[in-house]
């Protein structure tokens, strides 16, 4: 079984985009070795990241990422068990939605943080998986 998890965090201001490039670079370099795939959604003031892989890889990675000073206040949005990957082709896909979809995504994420709901979490995961296909 795979663990699929989505978290959200507050993004440190990054006018030059250098933080983002470094994060994606590190993810793509490191994740294949631990069998983790996923998607980083870049919102104006937040990151929303979907990570999937063996629980023994995803859990320590979450711990590790939570210490990164380029974001703060990591909150788990949903945790799912799955038989197969949604992001098999991506060590770390990335997607920066335009303002309307970004606002809708933020609202859904906030809702799930306040009121965890496995069905809504699964729907969110499915919608993020679709984004990676379009990306
Ligand atoms: C929002 C966010 C997401 C990140 N995602 C990953 C990830 O999926 N995999 C990873 O190895 N590092 C990720 N990082 C970076 C790690 O915190 C850390 O900087 C990096 O793994 C160090 O890699 P290095 O030791 O190879 O330089 C992320 C950082 C942030 C802020």
CA of 121 to the centre of ligand 1 (A): 24
CA of 59 to the centre of ligand 1 (A): 13
pLDDT at site 12: 95
pTM above 0.85, yes or no: yes
Ligand 1 pocket check for 68: Cβ under 6 Å: yes
Q: Ligand 1, closest atom to CA 91?
A: 8
CATH number for 72: 3.30.70.100
pLDDT at site 134: 64
Long-range contact set of residues 83-88: C-beta below 8 Å, sequence gap at least 24: 83/1, 83/2, 84/2, 85/2, 85/37, 85/52, 86/4, 86/50, 86/52, 86/125, 86/126, 86/128, 86/129, 86/132, 87/37, 87/38, 87/39, 87/50, 87/52, 87/129, 87/132, 88/37
What string of pLDDT tens digits covers the 135 residues of the chain? 999 999 999 999 999 999 999 999 999 999 999 999 999 999 999 999 999 999 999 999 999 999 999 999 999 999 999 999 999 999 999 999 999 999 999 999 999 999 999 999 999 999 999 987 765
Q: Residue 67 sits in which domain range?
A: 2-134
pLDDT at site 54: 98
**Structural domains counted in the chain:** 1
């Amino acid at each position: 079984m795979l663990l699929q998890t989505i978290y959200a965090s507050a993004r440190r201001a990054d006018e030059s985009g250098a933080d983002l490039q470094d994060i994606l670079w590190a993810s793509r370099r490191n994740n294949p070795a631990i069998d983790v795939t996923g998607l980083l959604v870049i919102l104006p003031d937040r990151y929303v990241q979907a990570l999937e892989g063996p629980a023994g890889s995803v859990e320590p990675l979450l711990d590790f990422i939570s210490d990164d000073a380029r974001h703060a206040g990591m909150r788990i949005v949903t945790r799912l068990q799955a038989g197969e990957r949604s992001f098999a082709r991506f060590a770390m896909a990335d997607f920066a939605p335009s303002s309307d979809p970004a606002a809708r995504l933020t609202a859904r994420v906030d809702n799930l943080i306040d009121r965890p709901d496995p069905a809504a979490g699964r729907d969110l995961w499915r919608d993020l998986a679709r984004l990676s296909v379009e990306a």
